[in-house]
Amino acid sequence: MKSMHCAPLFRQLVFSRSLHYSKTIFHNGRGLTSTSESEMSHFNALASSWWDVNGPQRILHKMNLLRMDFIHDTIRQNLKLNENTDDEVYIPPFSVDFLTVLDVGCGGGILSESMARLSFVSSVKGIDLSADVLEAAKLHKQKDPMLKDKLSYTLNAIEDIPETERFDIVTMFEVLEHVDYPSRVLLEGLKRLESGGWLFLSTINRDFVSWFTTIFMGEHVLRIVPVGTHTLEKYINQSEIKDWLQEDSNRKSEFRVADTKGCVYLPAYGWKFTSCPDVGNYFMAIQRVK
């Protein structure tokens, strides 16, 4: 898929939101990775229309194609490949064991179902904090019999998953900008990776372009996502995640950022990768190296 070059960013809104979680989380009686009541209400209201490809979540359905491209390309570039010495003989591209997947903030299961259909994936566990949205995911799963033994959904926060339960792939797409303590969510996800495993995430830089495209245009002008879906102060610059990984010696030695790609939504085209991960939406792949 071709990339777009990003124009220089002439204006940037300054909103100070640290990636780090506050100590007050330990005194409010809520889970470490909890989201706000307003966020929960917003997504509960979308449950019944989650799988309507022309409904309020249509932009997520379109983004899922790019998500799968990003995951597929990362696996293809970093896991052992068979060598094809004869161009006339087809050799399957993957030589890997079956992989296990944890989809954090799975919502109605758009990504979970796509991951479960991959031939090299043995199981997918989707977790979310919204019972209504998970019910929509479970109902839609029943439409495809092949998903019965490969895909499961549970009402859990990430810290509810035992640290002894490890996965080859952990996904957090469009999650961090909707939780109150994103660094805690990210850390809990990284802890549940097998050695050599991958965490894939997507979120949004905190800048003028992001506000203009996702909130002003996306919510209020084009109405391609429901009003109230995004909060600029909760966006996270991709550099903040990288700095957070580097500032702790244990995280620095255990994890590496393997790839970061920007992406943009074009109403007449769909989602497209860009060459500038510092502006707007972005994907990131983090590997546990030991």
- Binding site members: 67, 105, 128, 173-174, 177-178
For residues 156 and 189, the answer to whether their CB atoms sit within 8 Å is no
Q: Rounded distance, CA 113 to CA 195, Å?
A: 25
Residues near 123 by beta carbon (within 8 Å), at least 6 away in sequence: 100, 101, 116, 150, 151, 152
Q: What are the structure tokens assigned to 30, written together?
A: 């809520």
Annotated binding site for Mg(2+): 174, 177-178
Where helices occur in the chain by DSSP H, the ranges are: 37-45, 58-78, 110-116, 131-141, 182-191, 208-210, 238-247, 249-254
For residues 258 and 286, the answer to whether their CB atoms sit within 8 Å is yes
Q: What is the residue-wise DSSP string for 59-105?
A: HHHHHHHHHHHHHHHHHHHHS-B-----TTS---SB--PPEEEEEET
The pairs formed by 245-248 with CB atoms below 8 angstroms and a separation of 24 or more are 245/286
For residues 159 and 102, the answer to whether their CB atoms sit within 8 Å is no
Q: What are the structure tokens assigned to 252, written together?
A: 């620095």
User: Exposed, middle or buried, 81 (CB in 10 Å: 0-12/13-18/19+)?
Assistant: middle
Annotated binding site for S-adenosyl-L-methionine: 67, 105, 128, 173
| CB neighbourhood size of 36 (10 A) | 14
Instruction: Indicate the SS3 state at residue 160.
Output: helix
For residues 283 and 263, the answer to whether their CB atoms sit within 8 Å is yes
Q: What are the structure tokens assigned to 169, written together?
A: 């792939």
